[in-house]
Structure formats: structure tokens, C-alpha cells
Structure 1
């Protein structure tokens, strides 16, 4: 049977296909667990909630006994005190049950996002379920699998941000509330605000005002009702993370790649004698360059009359990672909707050979399974291979520019 068979409803075929890919992601996660500490990031949320339930500071470094021998590399809770309001229920059950529920909820969120995003495509009126099914392969891309494996929250954060991106004109209050939630969960969605205003301040201004206003109200309420020591601890976390960055290989930002290239802590001989000072000095410049690039790209796209939701998503996914100190492999899910639209349009035969090659390179990188290096990073080939997402980011930026010049969905 195919989606075109009259005897089989298209929604049934698409739903079956989506369910099959959900099962496939589960199988891939089982394989991933053999080579990576499964749920390592989720443990930060879980034990942060546990410490809140016990009346302790959630930002304290975890004791080994807390890990229950499951998470020897368990990370600290690093997120805003306000986010503890909605992660607090994790403490109501065991970590095993909480992790299963978290993973299933992430998969459900992913499926719903793909269905709703597919229905925004210009061809959705003709074949909405076929387009939804076309999103299914992206469920087994490296960013998605890595996201589910480590138990991160970026799918939830992106879902909230996409409510703002796609509902800013129809329900600005709800869109602003979703943006406020996203900002107080992870700060980086705040960069959607300047990019949206640069793209089209008349179009996005009302939703932005609601978002900023509600985020401010939420912050004031948090300061008033949440323990002050939480805010003190969180401010120290933010200051520490902002000062230097993290050279760990799974951090695929340009800043992290420079740390790995110059610092020498991962086996390479540092190219500069005083590498940490050098990276610390250029870090603010990278951030400012990213901000300027994003603003300039957004203004250029807006002047070309391409100020819709996919344009804003493309600007954010292209510009922010180039200057951020942290952009983990799983956060490349922000580029997936745009790339999926490109893949659907490229299949129509309207793309040039150069764009097809660039898209093929980008897709190949996103679908190549991620694993941390045990050796070999110190070589030139290792640097290129293990920083491939960094190079893919520049390919993505070029594709966004080329797409907008031709009026494609990435700029609609």
C-alpha cells in the first residue's frame, strides 16, 4: 500500500510511518546507551528536583551516592530557578520511571512538532499527511537521537519558541507567554527577540512585547517567592559558563572549536602559548559578531519581503550558533525543520546542482551517527571529523542565504 491508494487513508499511512520511526528511534537509543551515559543531562533535572523536595540548594554539586550508580558523569543543575517550578514533579517518582516518561514525552513532542510544521509547508493543502511522513526520517538524525539519549529539554524549549514563531500574529499573548517560558527554561531563546524585531518589527512587535513583559513579570515573581540562595547560585553558574566556555567535543559551537584548536586539553598541541587568555579575549567579539550577523541577516531577509515564521527560524538557527559559547549537538534540532523543508523542495527538481550538493553535505552530517572520540582528535583529520557540525553550520548559513535569494520556504 502507498499513500496514494484510495483504500488506505493517508492519515493512517502517515501515522503508521511516524509510529515506525518512533520505534526506530527507540532501537537506536538502545544502541546509543552502550557507548554513552544514557540520561546524563536528565539526571541534572531529576536530582535538582530531588534537592528542592529535600529543601536543599538545587545548584549544589551532586554527591556520588545520589547517582544510584547509574550516572557516574552526572551533570549539575544549571538552569534558572524558575524552571524548577515545572521540573519539580520529577521528584515524585524514581529516576528510572521519570526518565522513561521524559523520553516518551520528548518523542510525542517531536512527532507533534513535525506534523504541525509539515502542515505549514506551501504544499500542505495538497498532501498534508504525505508531508508529515516526509519529516519522519529526521527522527533518526544525529541531533534528535543525541537529544533523546542524554535526556535534554531542548525539544520542549524549541516547541515553546515555535509557538511564538508561528502564532505571533494570531495569538500574540499566548505566543509571548510561550516565549517567556522558553527564556526562563533556557536563556538562549531570548535572542529570538532582536532577530524578530530586525526581521519585521511591525509583524512581531506585539508578541515580542508580551513575551518580554511576561518574562519580566515571571522574573520578578521568582525573585519574590523563590529562595534567594537559588538566584545567587544560578548567577554564579551563569558567570562561570559565560567566562570561558566548554571545550568538550559535543559542544559544537565555533567558540568551542577554537578552544579545542588552541587550548590543547584534548590532545592537540596548542597553537598559542597563552591560549585560554586568547580565547577569553575573542569570546565577546564572537558573540558581538554573531549578534551583528543575525541582525544584518534578518534585516536583509525582511527587506526582501520574506518575514514569515520560517524566515525567523532560519535566521536564528543560522546566526546564533556561530557566536554562542555553547551549542551542543542536540541543539542542531533547530535547523531540522528548515532542512526538512529544503529536502522536500529539492525533491521537486527546482534546485541547482550547487545547492543540492551543499544540502547533501549538510544532511549527511546531520544523519551520521554521533559518538565521542576515544582517540584521534589530535590529528588534523580528527579535528575536521569531530568538528563537522561546526563546518555544517557554515554550510547551513550559505543555504539560508541562497534559499532566501530564490524565495524558498526557508525565507517565507
Structure 2
């Protein structure tokens, strides 16, 4: 390719250098993961595989219990449709399943970052797409993303959250008649993407709302036909057993309910307060999302709704906060003082590893206690500032948003 002002040698060198660093970081993470013999690595993937294998053997999908030396009672907590999606990994041996899952985690992360770059207009120079600029931005952003705790948590435990987020992020790229279908599939795997349905309704995207709900119902119906007993068990019983997911007041839980459960004095009904706070945050998120869609940025709107899912879910583990990590990347891509500052603050929060540990009650000091709550408060920063603060100086390409 002939060098031009937009794609000159220095841009290619920068892209190659950042790519080399990103590849080195990725290999370092994989090597560390592969050489670590600690029990529980890719434990969530082991739970998926064990539960699905149990179902394939004709037993109850939700009866499987993961054997772990320190954590007990872990089992499958997702809707039955998720089990159908995960069947290929249950049919593979453990080693190849983990290799493929880990590789897909990196591939999907890079795909999501590439989508953000193209949606922000950062990969467009002089009115045309610039491959070296896109590569430089994707590689450059991938470095702090891979080092962020939410990504590391998703990688180490082998979580499905990243794939669910990717389905929701890529949905608006589908032809209009199919938009909402990927969100519906994501919701059938993990219920939190259902927060997109009110967004569709508020913004009068009637077709997307109908497609989303229809896809969710169809996927759920398919799972009911294939796994009738598991479906009946999940929708009438397991769904309401919130204790199966984890402790609400755990310092690892970064939802607003988790924050309130840890901070409110004894006797104050945290759930009641949370419902009020969640309603207010929901109104703010949908207002921001509707505003961003009117401004021509469905990506910013999707990130606002995704941030809402982190806030209002009763339990949000660190890997759920990948929504906010992608939001941090989006701010950096937008540029400008406010957006860059917010992106930097978010990355500082998500690179604070000690803030995500599980601490027994009464053992957290003042400074650490503040740090522990910062990830839960980050969503309020995102929704308060909005995903297009002060109107981006970066043009949003119409072709991407169509």
C-alpha cells in the first residue's frame, strides 16, 4: 500500500509498535494463566461444561455442583437456553474447550474495540477509512483493557459476560428488520440485556422492541422444548433463588444494591432504598440513551443502556463491568477535555486491583473502603456525564450508524 499523509510510514510504525505491545501483553496473560495451577481457573467454564454434561446425561441441569476447595455450592445459574448454546464446549475435552474459549475471549474483545473505533470515527482520516489508524487505536486501547480487572476477571474465570455484551453492542449493525434479535439472544442467555426493551420503547423503536422480545421468547421456547424439566425448574424456582448467585453485600458485588447493602446502617431496608435509586438511575440512563440516539450515535446509546444493566442488577460481578471498560474506551476515542478525563478516571478505577477483592465485614479501612465502592459509583459518573459529553469533536460516520 502506497504511503500517504493519512497512512504514512510513521502511522504504520505506531500501529505495528502498539500491536506488538498488545500481543506481548496478551501472551503474558495467557502464559500466566496456563502456568498457574491454582484451583478454580476458568471455573465458570467448568461449571457450564459440567452442568450441560449433566443435562446431556438426562439429569437435572441445575443439580450440578462445582467442586472447589474453598467455594461451595456453585452451580448453573443461567436460563436453559444458555445451556443449549454452550453444548459444543461440553462435548469437547477440558483442555481444547479452555483454549478455544480463551482465544474467543481475546478475539471478541478486539472485535468490540474495532467496532468502537469505527463508530467513533477515529479510524476515518480525510473522509476515508484508514487501516493503520484503526489498528493503532484498537491495539492501543486493548492494552489497558486487557490489564483492567473486569477483563482479567472475565478471562481468569472463563465467563460468558463478554460474549453477551458483544451481542448487544453489535446488534445495531444488523439490517433494520433484524435489529433487536442479537439483544434477544443475549437476554435468553443472561437476563440483564432485557434492560434494552424499555430503551426501544422509550425511543419508539417498535420493530426492534418486538424483534427483541420475539427472539427472546422463541429462544426460551426452544429451550423449553429441549429441556422442559430444567425450564420449569428455572422459571418457577431457580430464578428467584438469588442466593445461588452470591452474597449481595460481598465487596466483590459492584452493583448499586451491593453498595447500599454495605453502607446503610442496620435496620434500613436496603432493597427498598435500592428500588428507589434504581428507578432514578433507570430514568437517567434511558434519557441519556434517547438523547444519544437522536444525536446520531446508537453506540453511545447502547453503552448507556449497558451501563444501566450493571447498576440495577442486584449482583454485578467485576466481569459485568466490562460494559464500563468499553465506555472508558469510548470516552478516550471521543477526545476533548471532559471525555478524556472521564475515560482516564474510569481506567484508573478499573486498574485498581485491590478494590475488587472479597473482604470480610469489618476488615476494610477508610481508604480501601472508598476504593471498594468506586467501581459501583463509576456507573453514576458515566450516566451523569453521558456518553457524548459536550458533543464529540470526532464525527460519527453515518454509514456505521445506519
Alignment RMSD (CA, Å): 3.3
After TM superposition, list the pairs within 5 Å mapping 1:236-247 onto structure 2.
236-241=237-242, 246-247=248-249
Q: Deviations over 1:317-374 (max 9, x none)?
A: 343333221221111111223321322343xxx315xx65444322201122255245
**Segment drifting more, 366-375 vs 381-390:** 366-375
Structure 1 unaligned blocks of 5 or more = 263-270
Give the equivalent residue in structure 1 for 2:280.
Answer: 289
**8 A Cα contact 1:377 1:386, kept in partner:** no
User: Alpha carbons of 1:340 and 1:37: their partners in 2 closer, same or farther (altered >3 Å)?
Assistant: same
User: Alpha carbons of 1:225 and 1:208: their partners in 2 closer, same or farther (altered >3 Å)?
Assistant: same
| Number of matched pairs | 380
**8 A Cα contact 1:41 1:75, kept in partner:** no
Give the equivalent residue in structure 2 for 1:89.
Answer: 88
Query: How far did residue 144 of structure 1 move?
Result: 0.6
Give the equivalent residue in structure 1 for 2:366.
Answer: 380
Distance 2:11 2:300 in 1: 38
Question: Of the candidates 33, 39, 42, which is equivalent to residue 39 of structure 1?
Answer: 42
Query: How far did residue 307 of structure 1 move?
Result: 4.2
Distance 1:7 1:316 in 2: 34
User: Alpha carbons of 1:332 and 1:193: their partners in 2 closer, same or farther (altered >3 Å)?
Assistant: same
Return the TM-score normalized by structure 1: 0.80
**8 A Cα contact 1:253 1:325, kept in partner:** yes
Query: How far did residue 389 of structure 1 move?
Result: 0.4
Return the TM-score normalized by structure 2: 0.82
Distance 1:155 1:369 in 2: 19
**8 A Cα contact 2:223 2:231, kept in partner:** no
**8 A Cα contact 1:44 1:76, kept in partner:** yes
Question: Of the candidates 254, 257, 268, which is equivalent to residue 255 of structure 1?
Answer: 257
User: Alpha carbons of 1:154 and 1:191: their partners in 2 closer, same or farther (altered >3 Å)?
Assistant: same
Question: Of the candidates 310, 314, 317, which is equivalent to residue 325 of structure 1?
Answer: 314
Query: Are 1:57 and 2:60 matched, yes or no?
Result: yes
Give the equivalent residue in structure 1 for 2:229.
Answer: 228
Distance 1:72 1:215 in 2: 32
Give the equivalent residue in structure 1 for 2:9.
Answer: 5
Give the equivalent residue in structure 2 for 1:167.
Answer: 173
Distance 1:7 1:395 in 2: 33
The secondary structure found in structure 2 opposite 1:252 is coil
Give the equivalent residue in structure 2 for 1:267.
Answer: none
Moved beyond 6 Å, runs of 4+: 242-245, 409-412
